């Protein structure tokens, strides 16, 4: 009888130890699985952010240094006549289709560099009444096809060839000398217009306010 009781007690003990070991196993495997996954999450998370930071593609660039401080006379839609114009002499009448970037007194005899404001093909460089030298670039701004007109450039300084694909901020030209044939007699300044669509229209002024809807105020994409 004693042997049977001892045998049962031994079996119960063995069963208890066995059950205790099985009961521990899931806990120990849980912790061993959990810790590596936490570590891998910590090491992989910083990598994508450090890779995405360094190289943002520039979409829009200023056409001239200190751009915001130069728009002092003619904004987008300014209505001018020879009588009321902020510049003198004035030979135009109409609503201004772009914005004018003025030059500082210290830049009268200096080369003032003009850069492209967007990425796209140079589609024309020429000379026209009212501008002197000018260049036209085809771009996409805010998902919309546009042509950008850079007016009053020294025609011989327009560096890219027609058809060249340019990035925003590329060297384009220098401004023409004021009151010379290079600017068609205008003061030394940059006229910048953005015409909606891909057709070329170099009008610096339109005669009705409604026609301004065909143009985009460059201040908006430039953020100035
Ligand atoms: Zn202008």
- Of the candidates 166, 65, 167, the one whose C-alpha atom is nearest the C-alpha of residue 114 is 65
Q: How far away, in angstroms, is 71 Cα from ligand 1 center?
A: 10
- How far, CA to CA in Å, does 83 sit from each of 89, 93, 208? 9, 9, 18
Q: How far away, in angstroms, is 197 Cα from ligand 1 center?
A: 20
Q: How far away, in angstroms, is 98 Cα from ligand 1 center?
A: 6
- Give the full edge-to-edge strand order of the sheet including 79-80: 79-80, 94-96, 205-206
Residue 146: pLDDT band with limits 50, 70, 90 = very high
Q: How far away, in angstroms, is 132 Cα from ligand 1 center?
A: 12
Q: How far away, in angstroms, is 122 Cα from ligand 1 center?
A: 20
Instruction: Note the maximum CA span of the chain.
Output: 129
Q: How far away, in angstroms, is 163 Cα from ligand 1 center?
A: 25
Three-state SS at 31 = helix
pTM: 0.75
Q: How far away, in angstroms, is 209 Cα from ligand 1 center?
A: 16
- Exposure of 8 by Cβ count < 10 A (0-12 exposed, 13-18 middle, 19+ buried)? exposed
Q: What are phi and psi of 176, to 5 degrees?
A: -70, 155
Q: How far away, in angstroms, is 57 Cα from ligand 1 center?
A: 29
More confident residue, 18 or 164: 164
Q: How far away, in angstroms, is 150 Cα from ligand 1 center?
A: 10
Q: How far away, in angstroms, is 103 Cα from ligand 1 center?
A: 13
- Of the candidates 90, 145, 154, 86, the one whose C-alpha atom is nearest the C-alpha of residue 118 is 145
Q: How far away, in angstroms, is 30 Cα from ligand 1 center?
A: 72
- How far, CA to CA in Å, does 79 sit from each of 73, 84, 90, 132? 11, 9, 12, 22
Which helix (H) or strand (E) segment is 139 a member of? strand 132-141
CA dist., res. 162 & res. 182, Å (int): 19
pLDDT at residue number 3: 65
pLDDT at residue number 54: 59
pLDDT digits (tens, 9 = 90+) for 68-125: 999 999 999 999 999 999 998 899 999 999 999 999 999 999 999 999 999 999 999 9
Specify whether the CB–CB gap between 136 and 152 falls below 8 A: no
pLDDT at residue number 57: 61
Q: How far away, in angstroms, is 99 Cα from ligand 1 center?
A: 6
Q: How far away, in angstroms, is 152 Cα from ligand 1 center?
A: 9
Q: How many CB atoms lie within 10 A of CB 86?
A: 11
Q: How far away, in angstroms, is 172 Cα from ligand 1 center?
A: 18
């Amino acid at each position: 009888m004693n042997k049977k009781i001892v045998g049962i007690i031994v079996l119960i003990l063995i069963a208890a130890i066995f059950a205790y070991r099985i009961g521990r196993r899931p806990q120990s495997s849980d912790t061993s699985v959990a810790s590596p996954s936490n570590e891998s999450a910590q090491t992989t998370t910083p990598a994508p952010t450090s890779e995405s930071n360094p190289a943002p593609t520039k979409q829009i660039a200023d056409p001239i240094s200190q751009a915001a401080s130069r728009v002092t006379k003619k904004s987008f839609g300014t209505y001018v006549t020879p009588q009321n114009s902020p510049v003198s002499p004035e030979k135009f009448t109409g609503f201004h289709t772009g914005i004018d970037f003025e030059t500082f007194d210290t830049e009268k005899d200096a080369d003032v560099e003009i850069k492209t404001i967007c990425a796209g093909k140079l589609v024309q460089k020429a000379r026209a009444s009212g501008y002197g030298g000018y260049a036209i670039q085809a771009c996409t701004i805010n998902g919309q096809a546009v042509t950008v007109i850079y007016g009053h450039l020294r025609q011989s300084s327009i560096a890219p060839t027609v058809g060249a694909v340019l990035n925003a901020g590329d060297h384009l030209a220098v401004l023409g000398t004021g009151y010379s044939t290079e600017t068609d007699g205008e003061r030394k300044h940059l006229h910048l217009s953005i015409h909606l669509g891909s057709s070329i229209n170099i009008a610096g002024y339109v005669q009705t306010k409604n026609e301004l809807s065909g143009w985009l105020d460059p201040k908006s994409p430039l953020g100035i």
